[in-house]
């Protein structure tokens, strides 16, 4: 049984790449096909010997803008030949589901989301780039056409959450099953104590809305917020952050684990399809203060493993923090941890392998 794995981009290590890492643990002999590959950033997890990159990679290496490369990705993903494989597993948030396979090859797609910048985030992208509006509209139209056609190519689609399942139904008109992403819950040890600070672990990009938290903590100077992460807004945040907000930049998994262990609560102000970081916080026995939206509604239980705030603005977050302070003594760190364990890697593997068995109609040694 020959298996291949496909993932759009291996140019950073984020939540989607953690899923791919679990796939390669499950199927260690499977090569990983990707459009773009950065060995410096991803080689420690995905060694170059296992990676097959597309024809676009040479342009990426010389600094070709991503806006240009993106328009070429539909064609590039279709250039990969999987005729020698029995099963291809695609990890898709934009293009990987568009691979071409023949009738003798099964294609199982794990969908993180249909490409958001041409569907539900399309008008926001235009607002953020008014000078490029005409170009965004043109290429957005072309990519939507390709994306809808490509959505029919997988034999089965698995959504990473109810939120993504709804998008798959609306934008692709396709049914899907839900398997929540794997979280390495065993890496985190539940703790009943804290050092008094609140924590954010996130990419520092505009859509993450870390600015909401920074402005909220400006209004509560007696409380400290620690922000771990890097991105386009880091230098801006470092300039505007009040004294009680500390921007640490990117940190190792071990350091993040220590901060999770000792935080008072995790702050989660963004809209995510699923959200792995809140699960990691809960695996540490820590409550989550989160925007009441999208994937986090499926993982956080209001009043038991955290609290929600309803609007993506500082005032609403302050209301959420105030409610957390009222309920803080009622949170049971062991119950929070137990809730997080349902999202473990082992549960993911069992559920995913069950779907593989159904699809291929066979059982081979790696499964048993």
- Residue 37: burial class (beta carbons within 10 Å; 0-12, 13-18, 19+): buried
What's the pLDDT tens digit per position in 184-237? 999 998 989 999 999 999 999 888 999 999 999 999 999 999 999 999 999 999
Pairing of strands 106-111, 156-159: parallel
Whether 45 and 23 have beta carbons less than 8 Å apart is answered as: no
| Number of CB atoms found within 10 A of residue 65's CB | 9
Could you give all domains of the chain from N- to C-terminal order, each with its CATH number? 3-182+344-360 (3.40.50.2000), 185-343 (3.40.50.2000)
Q: Which DSSP category does 170 fall into?
A: I
CB 77 within 8 A of CB 54: yes
The pTM is what?
0.85
Neighbours of 29 (CB within 10 A): 11
3-state secondary structure of 309: strand
Q: Encode pLDDT of 35-47 as tens digits.
A: 999 999 999 999 9
> pLDDT tens digit string along 76-125?
999 999 999 999 999 999 999 999 999 999 999 999 999 988 888 788 88
């Amino acid at each position: 049984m020959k298996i291949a794995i496909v993932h759009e981009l291996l140019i950073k290590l984020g939540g989607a790449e953690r899923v791919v890492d679990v796939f390669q643990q499950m199927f260690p002999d499977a090569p990983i096909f990707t459009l773009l590959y950065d060995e410096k950033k991803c080689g420690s997890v995905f060694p170059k010997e296992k990676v097959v990159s597309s024809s676009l990679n040479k342009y990426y290496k010389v600094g070709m803008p991503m806006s240009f490369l993106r328009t070429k990705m539909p064609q590039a993903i279709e250039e990969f030949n999987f005729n020698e494989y029995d099963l291809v597993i695609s990890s898709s948030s934009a293009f990987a589901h568009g691979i071409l396979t023949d009738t003798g090859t099964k294609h199982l797609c794990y969908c993180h989301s249909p490409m958001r910048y041409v569907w539900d985030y399309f008008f926001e992208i235009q607002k953020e780039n008014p000078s490029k509006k005409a170009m965004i509209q043109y290429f957005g139209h072309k990519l939507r056409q390709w994306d809808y056609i490509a959505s029919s190519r997988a034999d089965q689609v698995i959504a990473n959450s109810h939120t993504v399942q709804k998008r798959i139904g609306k934008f692709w008109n396709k049914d899907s099953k839900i398997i929540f992403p794997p979280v390495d819950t065993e890496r985190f040890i539940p703790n009943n104590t804290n050092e008094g600070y609140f924590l954010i672990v996130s990419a520092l990009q505009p859509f993450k809305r870390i600015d909401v938290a920074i402005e909220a903590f400006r209004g509560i100077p007696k409380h400290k917020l620690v922000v771990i992460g890097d991105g386009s807004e880091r230098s801006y945040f470092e300039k505007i952050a009040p004294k009680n907000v500390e921007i640490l930049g990117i940190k190792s998994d071990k350091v993040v684990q220590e901060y999770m262990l000792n935080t008072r609560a995790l702050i989660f102000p963004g809209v995510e399809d699923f959200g792995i970081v809140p699960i990691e916080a809960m695996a540490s026995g820590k409550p989550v203060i989160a925007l009441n939206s999208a994937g986090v509604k499926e993982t956080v239980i209001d009043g038991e493993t955290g609290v929600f705030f309803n609007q993506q603005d500082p005032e609403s977050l302050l209301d959420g923090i105030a409610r957390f302070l009222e309920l803080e003594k009622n949170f049971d760190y062991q119950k929070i941890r137990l809730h997080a364990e349902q999202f473990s890697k082992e549960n993911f593997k069992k559920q995913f392998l069950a779907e593989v068995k159904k699809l291929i109609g066979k059982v081979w040694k790696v499964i048993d």
